[in-house]
A = this chain, B = another copy of it.
Amino acid sequence: MRQLIQPEEDSARRVGKQQGMEHIDAYWRAANYLSVGQIYLLDNPLLTEPLRPEHIKPRLLGHWGTTPGLNFCFAHLNRVIRERDQDMIYICGPGHGGPGAVAHAWLEGSYSERYPDVSQDAEGMRRLFRQFSFPGGIPSHAAPETPGSIHEGGELGYALAHAYGAAFDNPELVVACIVGDGEAETGPLAASWHSNKFLDRRRDGVVLPILHLNGYKIANPTVLARIPTDELIKLVEGYGYRPHLVGPDHAEMAGTLDAAFEQIAAYKAGDADRLPMIILRTPKGWTGPREVDGKPVEGTWRSHQVPLAKVRENPTHLGMLEEWMRSYRPEELFGSEGRPVREIRETVPRGTRRMSANPHANGGELLEPLRLPDFRRTAVEVKSPASQSSEPTRVLGGWLRDVIAANPATFRLLGPDETASNRLSDVFEVTDRAWNAELLPTDENLGAGGRVMEVLSEHLCQGWLEGYLLTGRHGLFNCYEAFIHIIDAMFNQHAKWLESSQKIPWRRPVASLTYLLSSHVWRQDHNGFSHQDPGFLDVVINKKASVVRVYLPPDANTLLSVADHCLRSRDYVNVIVAGKQPVLDLFTMEEAIAHNTRGLGILPWASTDDGTEPDVVLACAGDVPTLETLAAAALLREHLPELKVRVINVVDLMRLQPATEHPHGMSDAEFDTLFTVDKPVIFDFHGYPSLIHQLTYRRHGHGNIHVRGYKEEGTTTTPFDMAMLNDIDRYHLVMDVIDRVPGLGSRQAHLRQRMSDERLRARQYTRDHGEDPAEIRTWTWQAAFSS
């Protein structure tokens, strides 16, 4: 390993001298030229005339600083691809390098294939420049619009997790992953280095991390650029990699990459235990203006965005820009018609070996549907509704076991160490947890190649799964409901990626990202307040209707059917909330399929309206609210037998929205028929009540919808006490009915008082005995009428 060249000593000026590197250098200069052009130019792309202010964009929006280093990596990786016929994709953590990513796709020809208007000639180059970060054009970061990218460069931190996700089950693939030294400070990235403990030498591909130390973030030095080199080396050795330090020099980079790929080959052959990674130190804004207005720019944070900020107004800046662009000698790089010269074209791999055209980076091209076993075979037998209980996720686990068995290389189940806790353990009958670190004799269900991925990092689970899905595979993320908020921001970014991708014809649909949220708010009574939060649904529903789906199956059979539906879907984010604790079985499998197909429906056996207009509607969504609603319906049947009660269960939350707002939305006519326009609706909901109001506020009967849900009351207590703390319990629902149905309040004050007393009695029992009263614990619909 060699010492780094200090940034002061190196420069573009040393570049290109090395024997055999001229063509790579030409490619690199071309990519740099195209990057600068995108940031600055409206016109005169080939500098066929002196630059004038009107050639310059009025708003200069883009990021130069990271780009030349990224271009340098790309140029050199291309040589490796050609020489080794290597299947490789490129994940660029510093998404600010958008102009570079676009430049490569254009140089490789794939940009013009995807966007024929942006042809590989002078007019195409003009359009390429103009569209960048321009209204009606393309984003300034790597984005779905960028050929060859599966990684949005907006929010930072997820590059390495995406890279590993792409490498899993792609044994021939190398994923080159540039980690910016800014991004390296984020939590998700810091955790991602350990992904190598989950990589299987035989079944998975390889990630080659390239830590790009250009030294600065927006306005600050980076931590990793300013710790002693020996500490940095120890750090990455501690992460389990063999580091290679390389400075800004073509020959060095080429030699280092050759060594790294030899090590990768040795690893794949079983001759080495540790994979390489590269630490590339370059100046930030390398080859850009050294100094502007008397201040150093190249090699400092000042080159982060636009090194010359006043080009239109300031003739000196304009002159410097022209000098800068001409320093790449465009006349050597592009023919008079603007096409890259042959020497450059020849550095580029062919066809799908081009990283900008590799199908792994447009995973829908490779996607094959899962072989899904018939979930009906896993169904729970239900003889009469709500008379027996099952653990829904445990039942689901049986089906997921069969999914895994039938799809041994294209499906993974992810979770932060909660697969067993969420009662999906049946999957371990056919697979292990992926594990590539030390094994002990006492270990169970642990081994290389396991389909279950457990790491105590929701970020890693999410990032791995995103990478896995975007490269054309399938998966499911199971998580405690409260802690899924940890990846709110990652969900946002992925949903935005999907929203954008849906509008890009060449982006083929990928498998949906499906969450199974279990150990949910109502059954975290034992873990307490910190584990109680159903608010992820609120985050999800803010995203576009074209992308998000939310399901709250109330029992095991509906869960099975929903899960099957979700794993067949494309380009969505599906959220399934389902408990792991026993809940009443409500539906036979055929009924469950019919109920899910409608997305919601009346439970006729629990209703007393006999198909006529009811006096009150009891609606519910979520397993615990459904149980409480049924118990309330039973109480009403017992105490107010003349009251016409309609019980509605909602599985598909999006059905509540107007059809104009969501593709699953009901027409007003349907909604009115079900919920009435003027009768009180007591809606017992799994999450925060405001969400139901949000979904229904345009409905005619909205003023009559009274929602119970989680109102941020919780502690370590019993399940029924949790329900009571938040007023979603059966007794309170009956009280709500009495309060809301005209006339009942005065006539049924006695019943209301009795319900209130029942609550106090239940609470006192709980305080005295540490568990819920037996009649609550063992309540079933049948029991309600057999006592």
Contacts and interface: CB of A to CB of B under 8 A. Distances in A.
- Determine which residue in A189, A193, A218 has the highest number of CB atoms from chain B within 10 A of its CB, and name it: A218
A237 interface: yes
Given A191-B187, A235-B234, A237-B238, A139 B716 contact: yes
A35 interface: no
A351 to B, nearest CB: 30
Interface string A682-712: 0000001010011001000001000000001
A492 interface: yes
A371 interface: no
A526 B716 contact: no
A25 interface: no
A766 B235 contact: no
Q: Size class of A's contact patch?
A: 35 or more
A150 to B, nearest CB: 14
A773 to B, nearest CB: 12
Interface string A213-232: 00001111111001110011
Interface in A184-241: 185-194, 197, 217-223, 226-228, 231-240
Given A234-B234, A456-B222, A526 B488 contact: no
Contacts of A486: 155, 157, 488-489
A57 interface: yes
Given A59-B718, A191-B185, A526-B59, A237 B240 contact: no
Contact of A240 (B231, B694, B766): B231
Oligomeric state, in number of copies?
Answer: 2
B539 A488 contact: yes
Contact of A456 (B156, B231, B457, B716): B156
A550 to B, nearest CB: 14
- Determine which residue in A192, A232, A240 has the highest number of CB atoms from chain B within 10 A of its CB, and name it: A240
| Secondary structure class of chain A's binding surface, majority of residues | loop
A187 B185 contact: no
A588 B112 CA distance: 55
Interface in A610-640: none
A527 B191 contact: no
B527 A721 contact: no
B190 A191 contact: yes
Contacts of A133: 526, 528, 716
B716 A221 contact: no
Interface string A440-456: 10110010000000111
Interface string A118-144: 000000000000000111111111010
Contact of A433 (B42, B61, B140, B220): B220
A485 B496 contact: no
A727 interface: no
Contact of A488 (B220, B221, B419, B489): B489
A294 to B, nearest CB: 13
Contacts of A153: 530
A420 interface: yes
A194 B185 contact: yes
Contacts of A493: 530
A221 B530 contact: no
Contacts of A769: 58
Contacts of A742: none
Given A238-B237, A488-B539, A694-B693, A191 B182 contact: no
Q: Which 8 A-B pairs have the closest CB atoms?
A: A154-B530, A235-B238, A187-B187, A190-B190, A485-B489, A234-B238, A226-B437, A139-B528
23 contacts: A135-B716, A155-B482, A185-B455, A185-B457, A187-B187, A187-B188, A187-B191, A187-B460, A189-B191, A218-B417, A221-B443, A221-B446, A231-B238, A234-B234, A234-B235, A235-B235, A237-B238, A486-B489, A488-B539, A493-B530, A542-B712, A544-B712, A690-B694
